[in-house]
Chains A and B, each alone.
Chain A
Amino acid sequence: MPDDGIVIVGAGHAGFQLAASLRQHGYGGAITLIGDEPVLPYQRPPLSKDYLDGKIGLELLLMRPEAFYRDHRIGYLPGARVMEIDRAARAVRLATGERLSYSHLVLATGARNRVPPLPGIELDGVCYLRTLAETEELRERLAAAGRVVVIGAGFIGLEFAAVARAKGKHVHIVELVDRVMARVVSVPTSLFFAEAHRGAGVEFGFGAQAVRIAGHGGKVDHVDLAGGERLAADLVLVSVGVVPNTELAAASGLAVANGIVVDATLLTADPAISAIGDCATFPCVHAEGQQTRLEAVQNAADHARCVAERILGTPRPYTALPWFWSEQGKLRLQIAGLTTGHDQTVLRGDAESGEFSVFCYRDGQLLGIESVNRPADHAHARRLLAAGRQVRPDEAADASFDLRAAASARSA
């Protein structure tokens, strides 16, 4: 069979890492990496932190310089869109009409901003923070803004709020539920972060629903809340999560359910098509095998390595431990494991001191550990959880308990 090579749709963390890993491990065929943005593949995490803040330029944001792609014979197509997958012919069709044949196709299409159906959402001054272009626009507008309203108190909203406050902007965060980062962290961690942001001067509205963004002359002027409150704003950041880019897969008949459905080896029902990163929902061993879709750099890169190894002849189920991080001003939050559904939290350290970890349990089983300014705990947590080891609640709470030794122990 002729080898048409690997076609990768999407040039984010997952797509880039797959191309790099394939070459690193000696894949000799053609690799085509298709991105829909006009720039070389870049890192997303610094967008909401150092890049937004102007501390680093584009050259340090790029995954690798242009020469890397040439030296490693990775055909990078910027600003390109795939319109269709022809599974029978094993080819994709681009917006330009060009067709690319593949031996294996990897969908790394990522996710896009969720855009709430609010009146006024189209106004000038309503911003998002996911792509480089969005960040550059936001950075420019933030410099000129005085009053900022952030809709959604997730990682992105809070990271942005920290940068905006440090620049002296008035920041008000509107959050539908009763606490920050409710989807991903425990109550004690939520409370600590809300208090820290409040201490820095951020205002919060919890249980608050934006119902309208209003403007003057096409420019944002204020945000109306359900209770009648009106928040003046010359800049609105909408950070209410993302939706996975699954349309291409769905149109080609692949199963989609909050993500492109893949098996334990990240393969779709079509043996010539894999899906990785934010767009893929996979059976996760760290979530009792439930179909799980994660939005994380770690997940994207480890998915990519797993698929690269399969393509090179070493198939294995994907088992990497999920981990996440967020930097909000001086606060470093690191999470190891998936804590969804926990019914017990145990504090290690002292929240008052600003350095602590929260151990999250369900039915007495340790699910994951959130660390705030305690990177040692996080490092140990990753090794501990990856090895499937447990720490009892009373051990977790005991300051004299040696977490490092527990993480290094040879048996559970």
Chain B
Amino acid sequence: MPRVTYVAQDGKETTLDIPVDTTIMQAAILHGIDGIVAECGGSCMCATCHVYVRDDQLAMVSPVSADEDAMLEGTASPRRTNSRLSCQLIVSPAMDGLVVYLPETQT
């Protein structure tokens, strides 16, 4: 299974083995990673599963859809060029080794 590392605000790292075709948001919720709220349950409706993808790994993830792009406008922490909604990051073998940084706040 691809391994994805979540880096919390305090620097704490958690690495998870995530089944292909599930999302980075789902894995975070399943493993109780604080810092991902996912209020809408992964419907791309709420922008509370915001993560920053490590800058040099942006090519590893799928491009931002129009829906996601719109919802990213409403994140509680600043949107940056590497901002993504983790409910839209569907894990593939190509994402093995991905690192995502959790924002200061989701709400």
A interface, CB within 8 angstroms of B = 24, 43, 45-46, 59-60, 62-65, 67-68, 71, 297-298, 301-302, 305, 325, 327, 332, 334, 375-380, 382-383, 404, 407
Whether B56 is near chain A, meaning CB under 8 Å from some CB there, is: no
- Looking at the complex, which one of B30, B34, B44, B73 makes contact with A383 (CB distance below 8 Å)? B73
Whether B69 is near chain A, meaning CB under 8 Å from some CB there, is: yes
- CB distance A379 to B30 under 8 Å? no
Interface string of B51-90 (1 = CB under 8 A from A): 0000000000000001101111110000000000000000
- List, in ascending order, chain A residues with CB within 8 A of B47's CB: 379
> Taking CB as reference atom, which chain B residue is nearest A320?
B107
Given contacts A297-B40, A301-B39, contact A64 B74 (CB under 8 A): no
Given contacts A46-B41, A375-B71, A379-B70, contact A24 B30 (CB under 8 A): no
Interface string of B30-48 (1 = CB under 8 A from A): 1110100001110111110
- CB distance A334 to B45 under 8 Å? yes
Q: List 8 A-B contacts (CB under 8 A).
A: A71-B32, A325-B43, A325-B45, A375-B67, A377-B70, A378-B70, A379-B47, A379-B74
Across the A-B interface, give the 8 residue pairs with the lowest CB-CB distance, nearest first: A376-B70, A68-B32, A375-B70, A379-B70, A379-B73, A379-B74, A375-B67, A43-B41
Given contacts A376-B73, A383-B74, contact A45 B41 (CB under 8 A): yes
Known contacts A60-B29, A376-B66, A379-B72; 16 additional CB pairs below 8 A are A45-B41, A46-B41, A64-B29, A67-B32, A68-B32, A297-B40, A301-B107, A325-B40, A325-B45, A375-B67, A375-B70, A375-B71, A376-B69, A376-B70, A377-B70, A379-B74
**Nearest chain A CB to B70 CB, angstrom units:** 3
**Nearest chain B CB to A318 CB, angstrom units:** 14
- List, in ascending order, chain B residues with CB within 8 A of A67's CB: 32
**Nearest chain A CB to B99 CB, angstrom units:** 23
**Nearest chain B CB to A384 CB, angstrom units:** 11
Given contacts A67-B32, A68-B32, A376-B66, contact A297 B39 (CB under 8 A): yes
**Nearest chain B CB to A60 CB, angstrom units:** 6
- List, in ascending order, chain A residues with CB within 8 A of B107's CB: 301-302, 305
- List, in ascending order, chain B residues with CB within 8 A of A382's CB: 74
- Looking at the complex, which one of A43, A64, A297, A379 makes contact with B71 (CB distance below 8 Å)? A379
- CB distance A64 to B32 under 8 Å? yes
> Taking CB as reference atom, which chain A residue is nearest B25?
A60
**Nearest chain A CB to B73 CB, angstrom units:** 5
- Looking at the complex, which one of A24, A63, A380 makes contact with B34 (CB distance below 8 Å)? A24
> Taking CB as reference atom, which chain A residue is nearest B73?
A379
- List, in ascending order, chain B residues with CB within 8 A of A383's CB: 73-74
**Nearest chain A CB to B42 CB, angstrom units:** 8
Docked complex Cα distance between A60 and B27 (Å): 9
Docked complex Cα distance between A42 and B66 (Å): 29
**Nearest chain B CB to A341 CB, angstrom units:** 25
- List, in ascending order, chain B residues with CB within 8 A of A378's CB: 70
- List, in ascending order, chain B residues with CB within 8 A of A71's CB: 32
**Nearest chain B CB to A65 CB, angstrom units:** 6
Docked complex Cα distance between A301 and B31 (Å): 21
Docked complex Cα distance between A305 and B107 (Å): 9
Given contacts A65-B31, A380-B73, contact A375 B44 (CB under 8 A): yes
Docked complex Cα distance between A43 and B41 (Å): 7
**Nearest chain A CB to B45 CB, angstrom units:** 5
Interface string of B6-43 (1 = CB under 8 A from A): 00000000000000000000100111101000011101
- CB distance A327 to B43 under 8 Å? yes
> Taking CB as reference atom, which chain A residue is nearest B38?
A43
**Nearest chain A CB to B40 CB, angstrom units:** 7
Docked complex Cα distance between A63 and B74 (Å): 22
Docked complex Cα distance between A305 and B48 (Å): 14
- List, in ascending order, chain B residues with CB within 8 A of A375's CB: 44-45, 66-67, 70-71
**Nearest chain B CB to A260 CB, angstrom units:** 23
**Nearest chain B CB to A41 CB, angstrom units:** 12
Docked complex Cα distance between A334 and B72 (Å): 15
Docked complex Cα distance between A404 and B74 (Å): 11
Given contacts A379-B70, A382-B74, contact A45 B40 (CB under 8 A): yes
Q: Which of B26, B40, B41, B70 has the most CB of A within 10 A?
A: B41
**Nearest chain B CB to A15 CB, angstrom units:** 15
